[in-house]
Every structure is written in C-alpha cells, then in structure tokens.
Amino acid sequence: MDCVFCKIVDGEIPSKIIYEDDELIAFDDLDPQAPIHFLVIPKKHIQSLETLDESDSDLIGKIFLAIRKIAREKGIADNGYRIVNNIGEDGGQTVPHMHFHVLGDRSLQWPPG
Ligand code: 5GP
Ligand code: ZN
C-alpha cells in the first residue's frame, strides 16, 4: 500500500520512533510545529476517524492512553499539551492514515488571536 505512515510502521521509511506496542506507534513529526510534536498512529491502516470500524473503537482509547504516557515521559504533562486529529480535506488531513498530533512545550496558539 502506498501510504507513508504504513511505510513508517514497516520500517521502509525511517522515523524517530518514541513508542511502540502491538497496535500503535508514535514518532516525531518531520516538520515540528512546536518544540515537542509527535504523532500517534494505529499500525493498522485506517484512513481517518470517518472510516474507523466500530470493531476498532478500542483503538481510540488506547491511543489517548499512549499519548498520556508519552506526554508524562516527555515532561509536558504538567504544563499541558494539545492533541489534534485532522479528518479529510477540509480538516487539513494530508496523510490519509489516521494520526493524532501531540504538541507540547509552547505549542502554537490555536485558534489564532
Ligand atoms: P496532517 O496534515 O495529515 O494532519 O499531518 C501529517 C503530518 O505528518 C504533518 O505534520 C507532517 O509533517 C507529517 N509527516 C508527513 N510525512 C512524514 C514522514 O515521512 N515522516 C514523519 N516523521 N512525519 C511526516
Ligand atoms: Zn497507512
């Protein structure tokens, strides 16, 4: 499958992997928008929340718990951090493999103003 994030899961494209378990991986974003910016994805190819099957709904809870664990390990949990999930074209999703951005340590002001 011609999916950048599936290739990261398979190790065909190198990345800075910071967490891995049976179902998920997390890695640093190539183009960080904050001093700490990583992505958490399911290993299984799911295009977005819009195509998530009900049988995969447990994944969402696991993703959020992995985010919390990594955020604590990275020392951003006390000051807080932002989780962003873009869905589809109008949502600004550029990689069609569901992923959750985690931005910490002075993340960009959003919404602006
Ligand atoms: P989206 O706009 O789809 O929500 O976010 C896609 C994110 O994936 C962007 O922040 C982009 O920097 C990141 N990205 C795209 N290609 C790669 C890659 O090959 N490696 C890594 N580590 N991040 C990538
Ligand atoms: Zn994929």
In this structure, is residue 101 part of a structural domain? no
Residue 99 among the catalytic residues? yes
Q: For residue 79, what is the domain's CATH number?
A: 3.30.428.10
Q: Is residue 31 part of a domain?
A: yes
What is the residue with the minimal CA distance to atom 14 of ligand 1? 30
Which of the ligands is closest to the CA of residue 91? Answer: 1
Is 102 within a domain?
Answer: no
pLDDT single digits (tens) 11-57: 999 999 999 999 999 999 999 999 999 999 999 999 999 999 999 99
List, for residues 53-102, the tens digit of each pLDDT value: 999 999 999 999 999 999 999 999 999 999 999 999 999 999 999 999 99
Q: Domain for residue 105, yes or no?
A: no
Pocket perturbation via mutation, ligand 1, pick of 6, 30, 108 by most ligand atoms within 8 A of CB: 30
Domain count of the fold of the chain:
1
Query: How many of the other CB atoms lie within 10 Å of CB of 81?
Result: 20
pLDDT computed for residue 42 by the predictor: 98
Distance CA 9, CA 68 (A): 21
Choosing from 37, 45, 97, 99, the catalytic residue is 99
73, part of any domain: yes
Flag whether 113 is in a domain.
no
- Considering only residues 106 and 22, tell me which one the structure prediction assigns the higher pLDDT: 22
Enclosing domain of residue 55:
4-96
